[in-house]
Structure 1
Amino acid sequence: MRGLYLITNDDPIEQLHSKLDAALATGHIQILQYRRKKTPLTQQPEEIASIKAICDRYAVPFVINDNIELAAQFGLGVHLGQSDGEIQDAKEKLPQGVIIGKTCSSSLEFAEKAVRDGATYVAFGAIYSTLTKPEAGCIGIEILKQARQRFALPICAIGGLSVENSKDVIEAGADLCAVITDVLAQDINHVAARVNAWAAQFNTELK
Protein backbone atom coordinates (compact mmCIF):
# COMPACT_ATOMS: atom_id res chain seq x y z
CA MET A 1 0.00 0.00 0.00
CA ARG A 2 2.20 2.77 -1.33
CA GLY A 3 1.46 5.64 -3.69
CA LEU A 4 -1.32 8.06 -4.49
CA TYR A 5 -4.55 8.06 -2.48
CA LEU A 6 -7.18 10.01 -4.41
CA ILE A 7 -10.17 11.67 -2.73
CA THR A 8 -13.19 12.85 -4.71
CA ASN A 9 -14.05 16.53 -5.01
CA ASP A 10 -17.38 18.31 -5.52
CA ASP A 11 -17.33 18.53 -9.32
CA PRO A 12 -20.62 17.81 -11.08
CA ILE A 13 -20.91 14.03 -10.98
CA GLU A 14 -20.55 13.38 -14.71
CA GLN A 15 -17.42 15.54 -14.83
CA LEU A 16 -16.08 13.70 -11.79
CA HIS A 17 -16.77 10.35 -13.47
CA SER A 18 -14.66 11.40 -16.46
CA LYS A 19 -11.77 12.56 -14.28
CA LEU A 20 -11.86 9.43 -12.13
CA ASP A 21 -11.89 7.22 -15.21
CA ALA A 22 -8.80 9.04 -16.53
CA ALA A 23 -7.04 8.85 -13.16
CA LEU A 24 -7.77 5.20 -12.44
CA ALA A 25 -6.90 4.12 -15.98
CA THR A 26 -3.26 5.03 -15.27
CA GLY A 27 -3.00 2.12 -12.84
CA HIS A 28 -1.39 4.40 -10.25
CA ILE A 29 -4.24 5.07 -7.81
CA GLN A 30 -3.82 2.95 -4.67
CA ILE A 31 -7.10 3.92 -2.96
CA LEU A 32 -10.08 6.08 -3.93
CA GLN A 33 -12.13 7.77 -1.21
CA TYR A 34 -15.68 9.04 -1.64
CA ARG A 35 -15.96 12.48 -0.02
CA ARG A 36 -18.76 14.68 -1.40
CA LYS A 37 -19.65 17.32 1.17
CA LYS A 38 -22.07 19.18 -1.12
CA THR A 39 -24.10 16.13 -2.13
CA PRO A 40 -27.22 15.47 0.00
CA LEU A 41 -27.02 12.20 1.89
CA THR A 42 -30.09 10.92 0.04
CA GLN A 43 -28.22 11.22 -3.27
CA GLN A 44 -24.96 9.71 -2.11
CA PRO A 45 -25.85 6.01 -2.56
CA GLU A 46 -26.52 6.57 -6.27
CA GLU A 47 -23.20 8.36 -6.67
CA ILE A 48 -21.33 5.71 -4.72
CA ALA A 49 -22.79 2.95 -6.88
CA SER A 50 -21.67 4.73 -10.05
CA ILE A 51 -18.16 5.41 -8.76
CA LYS A 52 -17.85 1.87 -7.37
CA ALA A 53 -18.43 0.60 -10.89
CA ILE A 54 -15.41 2.62 -12.08
CA CYS A 55 -13.29 1.32 -9.20
CA ASP A 56 -14.35 -2.25 -9.92
CA ARG A 57 -13.35 -1.83 -13.57
CA TYR A 58 -9.81 -0.89 -12.57
CA ALA A 59 -9.62 -3.04 -9.40
CA VAL A 60 -8.99 0.01 -7.18
CA PRO A 61 -9.98 -0.20 -3.50
CA PHE A 62 -12.85 2.18 -2.70
CA VAL A 63 -13.58 3.62 0.75
CA ILE A 64 -16.24 5.95 2.14
CA ASN A 65 -15.37 9.02 4.16
CA ASP A 66 -16.76 9.20 7.70
CA ASN A 67 -19.89 7.06 7.25
CA ILE A 68 -19.76 3.46 8.51
CA GLU A 69 -23.43 2.78 7.68
CA LEU A 70 -23.00 3.92 4.09
CA ALA A 71 -19.85 1.84 3.74
CA ALA A 72 -21.72 -1.18 5.11
CA GLN A 73 -24.53 -0.67 2.59
CA PHE A 74 -22.04 -1.27 -0.23
CA GLY A 75 -19.63 -3.63 1.53
CA LEU A 76 -16.85 -1.04 1.27
CA GLY A 77 -14.06 0.21 3.49
CA VAL A 78 -14.17 3.45 5.44
CA HIS A 79 -12.00 6.36 6.49
CA LEU A 80 -12.86 7.64 9.95
CA GLY A 81 -12.18 11.03 11.44
CA GLN A 82 -11.72 11.36 15.19
CA SER A 83 -15.44 11.96 15.70
CA ASP A 84 -16.87 9.64 13.05
CA GLY A 85 -17.06 6.33 14.86
CA GLU A 86 -14.74 3.71 16.22
CA ILE A 87 -12.64 1.22 14.31
CA GLN A 88 -14.13 -1.66 16.31
CA ASP A 89 -17.63 -0.58 15.25
CA ALA A 90 -16.48 -0.51 11.61
CA LYS A 91 -14.91 -3.97 11.93
CA GLU A 92 -18.16 -5.37 13.29
CA LYS A 93 -20.32 -3.88 10.52
CA LEU A 94 -18.06 -4.12 7.45
CA PRO A 95 -16.84 -7.17 5.52
CA GLN A 96 -13.66 -8.76 6.78
CA GLY A 97 -10.54 -7.45 5.09
CA VAL A 98 -11.84 -4.06 3.88
CA ILE A 99 -9.69 -0.97 4.40
CA ILE A 100 -10.33 0.95 7.62
CA GLY A 101 -8.31 4.16 7.90
CA LYS A 102 -8.19 6.57 10.81
CA THR A 103 -7.40 10.28 11.01
CA CYS A 104 -4.86 10.95 13.75
CA SER A 105 -4.31 14.69 13.13
CA SER A 106 -0.88 15.31 14.70
CA SER A 107 -1.21 12.83 17.56
CA LEU A 108 0.98 9.75 17.92
CA GLU A 109 -1.29 8.73 20.81
CA PHE A 110 -4.32 8.72 18.50
CA ALA A 111 -2.29 6.64 16.06
CA GLU A 112 -1.26 4.15 18.73
CA LYS A 113 -4.90 3.60 19.63
CA ALA A 114 -5.83 3.20 15.96
CA VAL A 115 -3.08 0.61 15.53
CA ARG A 116 -4.26 -1.29 18.61
CA ASP A 117 -7.83 -1.20 17.35
CA GLY A 118 -6.83 -2.68 13.99
CA ALA A 119 -6.64 0.20 11.52
CA THR A 120 -5.36 -0.56 8.03
CA TYR A 121 -3.51 2.76 7.91
CA VAL A 122 -3.12 5.89 10.02
CA ALA A 123 -3.42 9.37 8.50
CA PHE A 124 -1.72 12.56 9.64
CA GLY A 125 -2.51 16.10 8.56
CA ALA A 126 -3.03 18.65 7.41
CA ILE A 127 0.67 18.48 6.53
CA TYR A 128 0.44 21.81 4.71
CA SER A 129 -2.36 24.36 4.75
CA THR A 130 -5.25 23.47 2.46
CA LEU A 131 -8.34 25.25 1.20
CA THR A 132 -10.25 21.96 1.35
CA LYS A 133 -10.09 22.00 5.15
CA PRO A 134 -8.70 25.37 6.27
CA GLU A 135 -9.56 24.76 9.92
CA ALA A 136 -7.05 21.90 10.03
CA GLY A 137 -4.04 24.23 10.10
CA CYS A 138 -0.73 22.61 9.13
CA ILE A 139 1.47 20.26 11.13
CA GLY A 140 4.53 19.81 8.89
CA ILE A 141 6.49 16.61 8.27
CA GLU A 142 8.18 15.95 11.63
CA ILE A 143 5.18 13.93 12.79
CA LEU A 144 5.62 11.64 9.78
CA LYS A 145 9.23 10.93 10.75
CA GLN A 146 8.20 10.07 14.29
CA ALA A 147 5.34 7.88 13.11
CA ARG A 148 7.58 6.06 10.66
CA GLN A 149 9.94 5.11 13.49
CA ARG A 150 7.09 3.88 15.66
CA PHE A 151 4.60 2.14 13.37
CA ALA A 152 4.90 -0.65 10.83
CA LEU A 153 1.54 -0.17 9.12
CA PRO A 154 1.08 2.29 6.22
CA ILE A 155 1.24 6.00 7.03
CA CYS A 156 -0.92 8.39 5.03
CA ALA A 157 -0.14 12.10 4.69
CA ILE A 158 -2.92 14.50 3.79
CA GLY A 159 -3.38 18.24 3.36
CA GLY A 160 -1.97 20.66 0.82
CA LEU A 161 0.07 18.01 -0.97
CA SER A 162 1.27 18.43 -4.54
CA VAL A 163 3.73 16.75 -6.84
CA GLU A 164 6.05 19.68 -6.25
CA ASN A 165 6.15 19.39 -2.44
CA SER A 166 5.83 15.60 -2.17
CA LYS A 167 9.50 14.63 -2.08
CA ASP A 168 10.06 15.70 1.55
CA VAL A 169 6.77 14.13 2.61
CA ILE A 170 7.61 10.76 1.08
CA GLU A 171 11.17 10.84 2.44
CA ALA A 172 9.78 11.64 5.89
CA GLY A 173 7.88 8.34 5.85
CA ALA A 174 4.57 8.70 4.03
CA ASP A 175 3.50 5.52 2.25
CA LEU A 176 0.36 7.17 0.91
CA CYS A 177 -0.21 10.77 -0.16
CA ALA A 178 -3.88 11.71 -0.10
CA VAL A 179 -4.84 14.43 -2.57
CA ILE A 180 -7.90 16.09 -4.03
CA THR A 181 -7.07 19.40 -5.65
CA ASP A 182 -3.67 18.53 -7.10
CA VAL A 183 -5.27 15.94 -9.37
CA LEU A 184 -8.98 16.72 -9.67
CA ALA A 185 -8.62 20.48 -10.15
CA GLN A 186 -6.78 19.70 -13.37
CA ASP A 187 -8.44 19.93 -16.74
CA ILE A 188 -9.68 16.49 -17.82
CA ASN A 189 -6.90 16.31 -20.42
CA HIS A 190 -4.22 16.73 -17.74
CA VAL A 191 -5.52 14.42 -14.99
CA ALA A 192 -3.64 11.33 -16.15
CA ALA A 193 -0.40 13.25 -16.58
CA ARG A 194 -0.66 14.55 -13.03
CA VAL A 195 -1.27 11.07 -11.63
CA ASN A 196 1.71 9.76 -13.60
CA ALA A 197 3.84 12.55 -12.15
CA TRP A 198 2.86 11.42 -8.68
CA ALA A 199 3.73 7.83 -9.52
CA ALA A 200 7.16 8.97 -10.66
CA GLN A 201 7.73 10.58 -7.25
CA PHE A 202 7.08 7.33 -5.46
CA ASN A 203 9.08 5.30 -7.95
CA THR A 204 12.02 7.64 -7.52
CA GLU A 205 11.93 7.17 -3.78
CA LEU A 206 11.72 3.39 -4.14
CA LYS A 207 14.91 3.11 -6.22
Structure 2
Amino acid sequence: MAKIRGLYAITDPALIPPERLLVACQAALNGGVRLLQYRDKPATNAERRKRAISLRELCRDHDALLLINDDPQLAADIGASGVHIGQSDGAVQRARQLLGPDAIIGVTCHNDPDLAIAAARAGADYVAFGRFYPSHSKPGAPAANPAVLSTPLPLPKVAIGGITPDNASALIAAGADAVAVIHSLFSAADIEGQARLFANLFSVKE
Protein backbone atom coordinates (compact mmCIF):
# COMPACT_ATOMS: atom_id res chain seq x y z
CA MET A 1 0.00 0.00 0.00
CA ALA A 2 2.84 2.40 -0.80
CA LYS A 3 0.35 4.50 -2.74
CA ILE A 4 -1.16 5.66 0.58
CA ARG A 5 1.49 8.30 0.94
CA GLY A 6 1.84 12.04 0.65
CA LEU A 7 -0.78 14.76 0.70
CA TYR A 8 -4.34 13.61 1.36
CA ALA A 9 -7.03 16.26 0.78
CA ILE A 10 -10.55 16.10 2.19
CA THR A 11 -13.30 18.24 0.72
CA ASP A 12 -15.57 20.35 2.90
CA PRO A 13 -18.75 22.01 1.56
CA ALA A 14 -18.37 24.75 4.16
CA LEU A 15 -15.11 25.78 2.49
CA ILE A 16 -15.85 24.83 -1.10
CA PRO A 17 -19.29 25.70 -2.51
CA PRO A 18 -20.55 23.22 -5.12
CA GLU A 19 -19.80 25.52 -8.04
CA ARG A 20 -16.12 25.68 -7.01
CA LEU A 21 -15.61 22.03 -6.08
CA LEU A 22 -13.94 20.92 -9.30
CA VAL A 23 -11.85 24.08 -9.63
CA ALA A 24 -10.57 23.79 -6.05
CA CYS A 25 -9.82 20.08 -6.35
CA GLN A 26 -8.12 20.60 -9.70
CA ALA A 27 -5.81 23.15 -8.05
CA ALA A 28 -5.10 20.81 -5.16
CA LEU A 29 -4.29 17.93 -7.50
CA ASN A 30 -2.08 20.18 -9.62
CA GLY A 31 -0.15 20.99 -6.45
CA GLY A 32 0.53 17.36 -5.58
CA VAL A 33 -2.47 15.83 -3.79
CA ARG A 34 -2.18 12.04 -4.05
CA LEU A 35 -5.43 11.09 -2.33
CA LEU A 36 -8.72 12.99 -2.40
CA GLN A 37 -11.60 12.18 -0.08
CA TYR A 38 -15.00 13.44 -1.13
CA ARG A 39 -16.95 14.46 1.98
CA ASP A 40 -20.26 16.26 1.43
CA LYS A 41 -22.90 15.39 4.02
CA PRO A 42 -25.40 18.22 3.21
CA ALA A 43 -25.79 17.20 -0.44
CA THR A 44 -28.57 14.98 -1.73
CA ASN A 45 -27.77 11.49 -2.96
CA ALA A 46 -28.14 12.62 -6.57
CA GLU A 47 -25.87 15.62 -6.05
CA ARG A 48 -23.24 13.52 -4.32
CA ARG A 49 -23.27 10.94 -7.09
CA LYS A 50 -22.88 13.56 -9.81
CA ARG A 51 -20.05 15.35 -8.00
CA ALA A 52 -18.30 12.11 -7.10
CA ILE A 53 -18.29 11.00 -10.74
CA SER A 54 -16.72 14.30 -11.79
CA LEU A 55 -14.08 13.98 -9.06
CA ARG A 56 -13.37 10.40 -10.10
CA GLU A 57 -12.50 11.56 -13.60
CA LEU A 58 -10.42 14.43 -12.27
CA CYS A 59 -8.45 12.10 -10.02
CA ARG A 60 -7.87 9.64 -12.84
CA ASP A 61 -6.45 12.44 -14.96
CA HIS A 62 -3.94 13.17 -12.18
CA ASP A 63 -3.15 9.55 -11.28
CA ALA A 64 -4.59 10.18 -7.82
CA LEU A 65 -6.96 8.13 -5.68
CA LEU A 66 -10.57 9.13 -4.96
CA LEU A 67 -12.03 7.92 -1.68
CA ILE A 68 -15.63 8.45 -0.61
CA ASN A 69 -16.43 9.44 2.95
CA ASP A 70 -18.55 6.95 4.87
CA ASP A 71 -20.54 5.66 1.87
CA PRO A 72 -19.30 2.32 0.50
CA GLN A 73 -22.36 2.03 -1.74
CA LEU A 74 -21.58 5.30 -3.53
CA ALA A 75 -17.95 4.27 -3.86
CA ALA A 76 -19.02 0.99 -5.45
CA ASP A 77 -21.60 2.63 -7.71
CA ILE A 78 -19.18 5.09 -9.29
CA GLY A 79 -16.02 2.98 -9.24
CA ALA A 80 -14.09 5.09 -6.74
CA SER A 81 -10.73 3.88 -5.47
CA GLY A 82 -12.23 3.18 -2.07
CA VAL A 83 -13.90 4.52 1.03
CA HIS A 84 -13.05 6.05 4.39
CA ILE A 85 -15.20 4.92 7.31
CA GLY A 86 -15.55 5.59 11.02
CA GLN A 87 -15.87 3.20 13.92
CA SER A 88 -18.79 0.77 13.78
CA ASP A 89 -19.00 -2.97 14.23
CA GLY A 90 -18.37 -4.90 11.06
CA ALA A 91 -17.93 -1.79 8.92
CA VAL A 92 -14.68 -2.92 7.31
CA GLN A 93 -16.05 -6.34 6.45
CA ARG A 94 -19.25 -4.91 4.97
CA ALA A 95 -17.30 -2.39 2.90
CA ARG A 96 -14.96 -5.12 1.66
CA GLN A 97 -17.86 -7.35 0.61
CA LEU A 98 -19.38 -4.47 -1.33
CA LEU A 99 -16.21 -3.03 -2.88
CA GLY A 100 -14.12 -6.13 -3.49
CA PRO A 101 -10.51 -7.04 -2.73
CA ASP A 102 -8.81 -4.25 -4.65
CA ALA A 103 -10.62 -1.29 -3.06
CA ILE A 104 -8.91 0.89 -0.47
CA ILE A 105 -10.61 1.00 2.92
CA GLY A 106 -9.45 3.52 5.51
CA VAL A 107 -10.60 3.67 9.11
CA THR A 108 -10.64 6.49 11.66
CA CYS A 109 -8.85 5.40 14.84
CA HIS A 110 -8.59 8.70 16.79
CA ASN A 111 -5.76 8.27 19.35
CA ASP A 112 -6.24 4.57 19.97
CA PRO A 113 -3.63 2.02 18.86
CA ASP A 114 -6.00 -0.82 19.77
CA LEU A 115 -8.57 0.47 17.28
CA ALA A 116 -5.86 0.59 14.64
CA ILE A 117 -4.75 -2.96 15.36
CA ALA A 118 -8.37 -4.13 15.16
CA ALA A 119 -8.85 -2.30 11.86
CA ALA A 120 -5.74 -3.93 10.43
CA ARG A 121 -6.97 -7.36 11.50
CA ALA A 122 -10.36 -6.65 9.93
CA GLY A 123 -8.70 -5.94 6.60
CA ALA A 124 -8.36 -2.16 6.45
CA ASP A 125 -5.79 -0.73 4.06
CA TYR A 126 -4.83 2.29 6.17
CA VAL A 127 -5.72 3.90 9.48
CA ALA A 128 -6.15 7.58 10.33
CA PHE A 129 -5.07 9.05 13.66
CA GLY A 130 -5.93 12.51 14.98
CA ARG A 131 -6.65 15.28 15.63
CA PHE A 132 -3.07 16.32 16.39
CA TYR A 133 -3.52 20.10 16.48
CA PRO A 134 -6.49 22.43 17.03
CA SER A 135 -8.89 21.78 14.17
CA HIS A 136 -11.27 24.13 12.37
CA SER A 137 -13.30 21.23 11.00
CA LYS A 138 -13.69 19.28 14.25
CA PRO A 139 -12.78 21.62 17.11
CA GLY A 140 -14.26 19.32 19.75
CA ALA A 141 -12.40 16.20 18.70
CA PRO A 142 -10.11 14.71 21.36
CA ALA A 143 -6.41 15.43 20.93
CA ALA A 144 -4.03 12.74 19.71
CA ASN A 145 -0.41 12.26 20.71
CA PRO A 146 2.13 12.03 17.85
CA ALA A 147 3.53 8.95 19.60
CA VAL A 148 0.52 6.99 18.34
CA LEU A 149 2.02 7.27 14.84
CA SER A 150 4.83 4.97 15.92
CA THR A 151 2.37 2.12 16.57
CA PRO A 152 3.79 -0.93 14.76
CA LEU A 153 1.26 -1.73 12.06
CA PRO A 154 1.41 -3.59 8.74
CA LEU A 155 -0.39 -0.77 6.95
CA PRO A 156 0.02 2.97 6.32
CA LYS A 157 -0.85 5.61 8.91
CA VAL A 158 -2.53 8.89 8.05
CA ALA A 159 -2.37 11.92 10.35
CA ILE A 160 -5.24 14.42 10.47
CA GLY A 161 -6.34 17.44 12.45
CA GLY A 162 -5.12 21.02 12.24
CA ILE A 163 -2.15 20.13 10.06
CA THR A 164 -0.32 22.93 8.24
CA PRO A 165 2.89 23.06 6.18
CA ASP A 166 4.62 24.35 9.32
CA ASN A 167 3.67 21.50 11.66
CA ALA A 168 3.35 18.55 9.27
CA SER A 169 7.05 17.63 9.31
CA ALA A 170 6.91 16.56 12.95
CA LEU A 171 4.09 14.13 12.19
CA ILE A 172 5.85 12.74 9.15
CA ALA A 173 8.96 12.22 11.26
CA ALA A 174 6.83 10.50 13.93
CA GLY A 175 5.61 7.94 11.41
CA ALA A 176 2.81 9.42 9.30
CA ASP A 177 2.81 8.05 5.75
CA ALA A 178 0.32 10.72 4.68
CA VAL A 179 -1.14 13.91 6.11
CA ALA A 180 -4.82 14.67 5.61
CA VAL A 181 -5.78 18.32 5.38
CA ILE A 182 -8.98 20.26 4.97
CA HIS A 183 -8.98 23.86 6.19
CA SER A 184 -5.29 24.67 5.74
CA LEU A 185 -5.55 23.61 2.10
CA PHE A 186 -8.98 24.64 0.88
CA SER A 187 -9.12 27.96 2.73
CA ALA A 188 -5.82 29.06 1.16
CA ALA A 189 -5.86 31.90 -1.36
CA ASP A 190 -3.53 29.81 -3.54
CA ILE A 191 -4.69 26.20 -3.19
CA GLU A 192 -2.20 24.84 -5.69
CA GLY A 193 0.71 26.62 -4.03
CA GLN A 194 -0.37 25.45 -0.58
CA ALA A 195 -0.66 21.87 -1.81
CA ARG A 196 2.83 22.10 -3.23
CA LEU A 197 4.21 23.16 0.16
CA PHE A 198 2.76 20.01 1.70
CA ALA A 199 3.82 17.74 -1.16
CA ASN A 200 7.39 19.03 -0.98
CA LEU A 201 7.66 17.81 2.61
CA PHE A 202 7.41 14.26 1.32
CA SER A 203 9.88 14.91 -1.49
CA VAL A 204 12.41 16.11 1.08
CA LYS A 205 11.91 12.93 3.11
CA GLU A 206 12.62 10.81 0.06
1:84 positional shift: 8.2
Q: Which amino acid aligns with 1:157?
A: A
1:85 positional shift: 5.6
Gaps of 5+ in 2: none
1:126 positional shift: 1.0
Looking at structure 1, the residues matched to 160 and 205 of structure 2 have their Cα atoms a distance apart, in angstroms, of 18
Q: Which amino acid aligns with 1:193?
A: G
> Which residue does 2:33 correspond to in 1?
29
Same amino acid, percent of matched pairs: 37
Deviates more, 1:194-203 or 1:77-86: 77-86
> Which residue does 1:171 correspond to in 2?
173
1:165 positional shift: 0.6
Q: Superposition RMSD on alpha carbons, in Å?
A: 1.5
1:63 positional shift: 0.7
The superposition leaves residues 40-73 of structure 1 with CA deviations (integer Å, 9 ceiling, x where unpaired) of: 3342111111211211221211010111111121
Matched, 1:200 2:204: no
Q: What's the TM-score, normalizing by structure 1? A: 0.91
CA contact (8 A) 2:111 2:145 kept: no
For 1:45, what is the secondary structure of its paired residue? helix
1:39 positional shift: 1.9
Q: What's the TM-score, normalizing by structure 2? A: 0.91
Gaps of 5+ in 1: none
- Alignment: residue pair count: 200
Runs of 4+ in 1 over 4 A off after TM superposition: none
Q: Quick one: structure 1 residues 22 and 105, their matched pair in 2 at CA, closer, same or farther if it must change by over 3 Å?
A: same
> Which residue does 2:122 correspond to in 1?
117
The superposition leaves residues 64-119 of structure 1 with CA deviations (integer Å, 9 ceiling, x where unpaired) of: 01111111211221001113861111111003311100111111111111111111
CA contact (8 A) 1:129 1:137 kept: no
Q: Which amino acid aligns with 1:155?
A: K
CA contact (8 A) 1:7 1:180 kept: yes
> Which residue does 1:15 correspond to in 2?
20
